[in-house]
Amino acid sequence: MLTFIGLGLYDERSISIAGRDALQAADYVAAEFYTSYLVDATVSDLETAHDIDIDVRDREGVEQHPEDILRKAQSEDVAFLTAGDTMISTTHTDLRLRAIDRGIDTRVIHGVTAQTAASGLTGLQNYRFGKSVTLPFPYAHGAEGVPTSVTDSIAANRERGLHTVVYLDIKADRDEYLRASDAAEMLATDLEDMLAIAVARAGSPDPTVRADRLSALAEKDFGDPLHLLVLPGELHHLEEEALAALADAPADMLNAVDSR
């Protein structure tokens, strides 16, 4: 059996009870933290809390050389851990399909995702979100400005009145995380100075949620990572009330979105 377990967003206690039980019953535990990581838990914290040993894999060890994981899963119970929800990344879907091709039983135990947390924290309705995008560090995509794939997806969502979650680049091996203020500055340069919402440390006891113009968010400090941005589309009146109450959205910006 190969069991994929989402750890949730914050610390060693964010895992579901079902996930915890499967984790403690596993004969071997692997994990990756290059797609995301827990805000307030180290690998050592996880090992101590759940009385396990974790084999942390880098990208190559998951995507190109997962053979030892699959071999173990043919005769043992193997758990594969990720922060957030385990099947958000295509990397993990590929590993699951490889296991199925070998006749290995698989199952998925889900965790909370950054997108659902962002919807809950901002008050924006989950079914009104369109395609999400990832904003890379400027040096990571080898060109100036924001990639057209990002701006085109945002524009397409806005044409349909849909909200956009903008995930911010992570370079975990370098302990480098794109911050909401830097992302807002990048987007304000390539887009109109629209309303946006910065969300920091979703899933923690003290998340930060702040709505304002992109240029205004670019001047703010949102504290420790992880951060993301939400660019709203058309707003339902209840969403407007939520952004005002939960994210201190300026009234003139809500009117501007509503009258677009």
Asked if 249 contacts 212 with a C-beta cutoff of 8 angstroms, the reply is yes
Window from 76-80, 101-105, 173-177, 229-233 with minimum mean pLDDT = 173-177
The pLDDT of residue 253 is 85
Within 12-169, strands assigned E span: 28-31, 55-56, 78-82, 106-109, 133-135, 164-168
Identify the residue whose tokens are 């407007």: 240
Consult the annotation and say whether 217 binds a ligand.
no
Window from 66-70, 163-167, 187-191, 238-242 with minimum mean pLDDT = 187-191
The pLDDT of residue 257 is 59
Consult the annotation and say whether 11 binds a ligand.
no
The pLDDT of residue 174 is 84
Consult the annotation and say whether 227 binds a ligand.
yes
Q: Find, among 152, 74, 156, 163, the residue nearest to 118 by Cα.
A: 163
Consult the annotation and say whether 85 binds a ligand.
yes
Structure tokens at 196: 């946006």
Q: What percent of the chain has pLDDT over 90?
A: 85
What is the pTM (predicted TM-score) of this model?
A: 0.89
Consult the annotation and say whether 114 binds a ligand.
yes
The pLDDT of residue 258 is 52
Consult the annotation and say whether 168 binds a ligand.
yes
CATH superfamily of 114-247: Tetrapyrrole methylase, C-terminal domain (3.30.950.10)
The pLDDT of residue 138 is 86
State the angle between helix axes of 237-247 and 114-122 in degrees (0 to 180), rounded to the nearest 10. 90
Consult the annotation and say whether 117 binds a ligand.
no
**Rounded-to-integer distance, Cα 111 and Cα 121, Å:** 17
Average pLDDT over the chain reads 93
> How do the domains of the chain map onto residue ranges?
2-109, 114-247
Within 132-226, strands assigned E span: 133-135, 164-168, 170-171, 176-177, 195-200, 208-213
Identify the residue whose tokens are 């090992």: 47
The pLDDT of residue 255 is 66
The pLDDT of residue 256 is 58
Q: Find, among 113, 114, 71, 66, the residue nearest to 94 by Cα.
A: 66
CATH superfamily of 2-109: Tetrapyrrole methylase, N-terminal domain (3.40.1010.10)
Consult the annotation and say whether 169 binds a ligand.
no
Residue-wise pLDDT tens digits, 60-99: 999 999 999 999 999 999 999 999 998 888 889 999 999 9
**Identical fold between 2-109 and 114-247:** no
Cα–Cα distances (Å) from 249 to 129, 143, 157, 164, 187, in that order, read: 19, 33, 21, 17, 18
Per DSSP bridges, beta strands 106-109 and 195-200 are unpaired
Asked if 122 contacts 209 with a C-beta cutoff of 8 angstroms, the reply is yes
* Position with higher pLDDT, 4 vs 253: 4
The pLDDT of residue 130 is 97
Query: Does the pLDDT of residue 151 top 60, yes or no?
Result: yes
